[in-house]
């Protein structure tokens, strides 16, 4: 089944000057390296953060978190959370992750949260 983040993964690993997220063979190897079992948690969390940073501004804000939740729950109307449920979930995420209480999650905060998830490194991989 298709990965809901496939376009973001291609965009993050692409070094192409075009906006089409095309990948060279070297880009593909970099991606496989980041998703390999031998990649460190820091490397994996860095790329996960970039994949989740949909607007590529260096922080995860409410819009990024909403897109992330929609990717995880499905894009169809029947699977989308209500506005109230979405707001509550985003608030809960920020309460757990936003250490400096600025309303966003930066890379250091994201890596701190990921460090408390023992399964993250083993689950952030591509199985061929």
CA geometry: angle at 53 spanning 78 and 108, to 5°? Answer: 125
> What CATH number has the domain bearing residue 27?
1.10.238.10
Name the domain count of the chain: 1
Q: What is the pTM of this model?
A: 0.89
CA gap 22, 122 in Å, rounded: 27
Range of the domain at 64: 5-124
pLDDT tens for the chain, residues 1 to 128:
578 898 999 999 999 988 788 999 999 999 999 999 999 999 999 999 999 999 999 999 999 999 999 988 876 666 678 899 999 999 999 999 999 999 999 999 999 999 999 899 888 988 77
Please name every residue paired with 60 in a beta bridge, in sequence order, or none if there are none. Answer: 105
Contact 22, 14 (CB under 8 A): yes
Residues 6+ apart with CB under 8 A from 71: 4, 5
In 3-state terms the chain splits into helix, strand, coil percentages (rounded to 5) of: 55, 0, 45
Contact 27, 15 (CB under 8 A): yes
């Amino acid at each position: 089944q298709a990965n809901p983040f496939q376009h973001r993964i291609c965009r993050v690993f692409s070094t192409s000057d075009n906006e089409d997220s095309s990948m060279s063979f070297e880009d593909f190897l970099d991606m496989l390296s980041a998703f390999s079992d031998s990649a460190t948690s820091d490397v994996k969390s860095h790329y996960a953060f970039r994949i989740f940073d949909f607007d590529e501004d260096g922080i995860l804000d409410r819009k990024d978190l909403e897109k992330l939740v929609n990717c995880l729950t499905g894009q169809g109307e029947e699977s989308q959370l209500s506005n109230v449920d979405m707001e509550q979930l985003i608030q809960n995420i920020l309460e757990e992750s936003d250490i400096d209480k600025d309303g966003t999650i930066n890379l250091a905060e994201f890596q701190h949260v990921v460090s408390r998830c023992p399964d993250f490194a083993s689950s952030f991989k591509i199985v061929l």
